[in-house]
Amino acid sequence: MMASSYSAKEEDGHHSGSAGLGGAAIRTRKPDNTAFKQQRLPAWQPILTAGTVLPAFFIIGLIFIPIGIGLYVTSNNIKEFEIDYTGTDMSSPCFNCSQSFSWNSTTPCKCVLFFSLDQPFEEPSKECEPYRTNENKPIAPCGAIANSMFNDTLDLFYIDPNGTKTQILLIKKGIAWWTDKHVKFRNPGGSNPNLTAAFIETAKPVNWHKPVYELDIDSENNGFINEDFIVWMRTAALPTFRKLYRIIQKKNNMTPTLPRGSYSLEVTYNYPVRSFEGRKRMILSTISWMGGKNPFLGIAYITVGSICFFLGVVLLFIHHKYGNRNNSSDVPN
C-alpha cells in the first residue's frame, strides 16, 4: 500500500509519485498558487467620476490653449526669405551664379541659413549597397545617404548703397546636435590627428569631389565629425525638407543681425538635381527661443486644448442633466 501525502503543490496541479507510465509525475497547466500567478497582487484602480474627470478636461484646455497661442504667435513673428536657385543648375560642378534680393527685417535676433531640397523618396539600404566598395577599397563613408551629401557652397554678401560688397560671416560650427557631434560620430584612430593616414585604405564616395578627410582644414570639424556631414546624415522623414546650413551670429541686442538693404547670394553648384526633377532653395530666417518657423506645434496645442475644453463642457452638460437621475435610481424605495 502506497503512502499518500498532501501538499499545496499537489492542489495546484503538481503531483508527485509514480502515477502514470514509467512512474512519470503527473503535471498540469494550472499555474502555481501564488499571489503573482493567481493575480491576487494588490492594485490601485482609479474611480473615474464627474468630480475627477471634468476638472481634468478644463485644466488641460486652459493650459494648452494659451501655450498654443503663444507658440503660434512666436512662429508667425519669425521672418523668412526663400530663393529657389534651381533654374540655373547646369548639372556640372563649380558653376557659379549670383542672385540679388532685399532683406527688410530689422530684428536683432540670430539669423540662420537653411538649404532646402525636393528629392524623390527611396528607402536606403542598411548594408551600404550599392556604395560599399569602390576600386576594391571600402568607401568611407559608405551608403547611398552619404554618397548623396549636399555640397553646394552658399555665400552671402551685403551690398552697400555705393555698390560695395561686404561678405557676411557664416558660422559653420554649432549646426549639428551636440550628441551627434560628441557621441554618435567619431573619427578612426582615436585622438590621432592624422586623418590622411587613418583613411589611407579607403575610397571616397562615388559622387564626392574630395575624400572625407579633406572636408575642412579645421581638425575639429573634419572627417566623420564634420558638421555638414553630420547634419546631412540625420535623414529627413519627408522628400521635401530643409537642413541647417550656416548660422549668422547676432552682434548685440540693439543692432540688427542683418541690416536692411540689398544682398547677393552667390552659389557654387556642385549638387545636380535635374536628373530626378528636384528643387534647391536657400532660406534665410530669423530664429526665436523655440527655433525656426513651425506653426504646427502651436496649432496642435490649440487643437488639443480646444477639444478638451469642448468635451469638458459637453460632459458637464450631460452630468448636470442626467447625473441626478442616475443617483436617484440607486436609492432603494
Which domain range does residue 184 map to? 80-287
Q: Across the strands, what pairs with 156?
A: 265
Distance CA 217, CA 101 (A): 31
- Same structural domain for residues 267 and 159? yes
- Same structural domain for residues 240 and 297? no
- Same structural domain for residues 228 and 254? yes
Residue 9: inside a domain: no
- Same structural domain for residues 89 and 70? no
- Same structural domain for residues 301 and 229? no
The pLDDT tens digits of the residues spanning 76-86 come to 989 889 999 88
% helix / strand / coil in the chain, to the nearest 5?
30, 20, 45
- Same structural domain for residues 203 and 307? no
Cα 314 to chain centroid distance, Å, stands at 37
Give me the CATH number covering residue 202: 2.60.120
Q: What angle do CA 12, 16, 19 make, to 5 degrees?
A: 115
Q: In which residue are the cell numbers 575624400 written? A: 211
Q: From its phi and psi, is residue 28 left (phi > 0), alpha (psi between -120 and 50) or beta?
A: beta
Predicted structure pTM score:
0.75
- The grid coordinates of residue 234 equal 540625420
In the chain, the number of structural domains is 2
The pLDDT tens digits of the residues spanning 305-314 come to 999 999 999 9
Residue 275: inside a domain: yes
Q: Are 126 and 120 in contact (CB under 8 A)?
A: no
Residue 222: inside a domain: yes
The pLDDT tens digits of the residues spanning 242-276 come to 999 999 977 776 677 888 889 999 998 888 888 88
Continuous H helices in the chain: 8-11, 50-76, 144-147, 178-179, 195-198, 227-233, 295-329
- Same structural domain for residues 63 and 185? no
Residue 29: inside a domain: no
| Average pLDDT of span 194-202 | 89
The pLDDT tens digits of the residues spanning 208-241 come to 989 999 999 998 999 999 999 999 999 888 889 9
**Size (the chain), residues:** 333
Burial of 133 (0-12, 13-18, 19+ CB in 10 A): middle
Confidence of residue 44 (pLDDT cuts 50, 70, 90): confident
Distance CA 3, CA 16 (A): 12
Highest mean pLDDT range out of 19-28, 250-259, 278-287?
A: 278-287
Residue 315: inside a domain: yes
- Same structural domain for residues 63 and 87? no
- The grid coordinates of residue 221 equal 570639424
